[in-house]
Amino acid sequence: MGWRRLRNVPLRTGLHSVPGLACPTHRRYSGCMTTPDLHAVPRDLLGRHALVCGASAGIGRASALALAARGASITALARRADRLDSLLPELRAAGAAEARALVADLDRRADLADRVEALIEAHGPVHIVINNTGGPPGGPLLQAEPEAFSVAFGRHILAAHILARVCVPGMQASGFGRIVNVVSTSVYEPIPNLGVSNTIRGAMGGWAKSLSRELPEGVTINNVLPGFTDTERLTSLAEGRARREGSSSDQVRANWLAQVPEGRLGRPEETAAAVAFLCSPSAAYIRGVSLPVDGGRLRGI
């Protein structure tokens, strides 16, 4: 059988999951030139159902693909149906056991619980929730309208809380659950010109840590904190800041990069790899942490 034809064959975990070690079945790792990633990605989420929010773009999209590669069934949630429709075949090709879209706006939460309960009724428990959505707009804090805080609080905290209340009972019954929040490094260090975002990220950190102390055995919650990551959001933040400061997007980006020891923007796939790891069985004993994926930008120890 050719290496490519193995793409949808569930691989055993263990040495297959450790890049660089010889695979005991195929007797080699480094000789697998056609699909070297096959051995690098363990299929350890087969039989698990992941609800990935904000899956139509950026970090959420990359996270959905990373979980698909580990074999999870994916429900991809976002507002743009066309984007989700084009993602579904990619999820299946990446290795998702099943892939479906849930078109929903996390700013309109009146029927969110009912819709996710219907999803669970039709497709079984949600074992993994990725809380990810659009970030609040940038700008000086004093210029922010009070309403901006309630919109952001609703979209981030209330939506995550509703999903936790609906999904945790099924996680507990399954003895396996993972909640991963895509937040920001501003949980640790507020970022200039992102005052509303900084405030909401702090609240998210408090919500997640509180919940981490209450969740049952086998069910964890953790945060991933992206640094400057090359997505549509970063492009729009750079454009907004350049307009306000009378500079250019390139100049704004250069200023950002000067803060990053790695000297480049992060790729959404790099954040997604951390998300997928925290969802994996290997991360069972990691609970209530906030993991920066920021190229070393944070200065605190």
Ligand X SMILES: NC(=O)c1ccc[n+]([C@@H]2O[C@H](COP(=O)([O-])OP(=O)(O)OC[C@H]3O[C@@H](n4cnc5c(N)ncnc54)[C@H](OP(=O)(O)O)[C@@H]3O)[C@@H](O)[C@H]2O)c1
| 231 touches ligand X (CB under 6 A) | yes
| 195 touches ligand X (CB under 6 A) | no
The alpha carbon dihedral of 163, 164, 166, 169 has a sign of positive
For the segment 121-150, give every residue that binds ligand X (CB under 6 A): 132-135
| 198 touches ligand X (CB under 6 A) | no
Shortest Cβ 240–ligand X spacing (Å): 13
| 295 touches ligand X (CB under 6 A) | no
Mask 8-47, x = binds ligand X (CB under 6 A)?
A: ----------------------------------------
Per the listing, tokens 């937040």 go with 183
User: Among the candidate windows 48-56, 94-102, 212-220, 241-249, which touches ligand X by CB under 6 A?
Assistant: 48-56
Shortest Cβ 14–ligand X spacing (Å): 32
| 85 touches ligand X (CB under 6 A) | no
| 256 touches ligand X (CB under 6 A) | no
| 223 touches ligand X (CB under 6 A) | no
Confirm if 221 and 258 have CB atoms less than 8 A apart. no
Contact pick of 16, 48, 155, 297 for ligand X (by CB under 6 A): 155
Shortest Cβ 105–ligand X spacing (Å): 5
Q: Which residues bind ligand X (CB under 6 A)?
A: 54-60, 78-80, 83, 105-107, 132-135, 155, 182, 184, 226, 228-229, 231-234
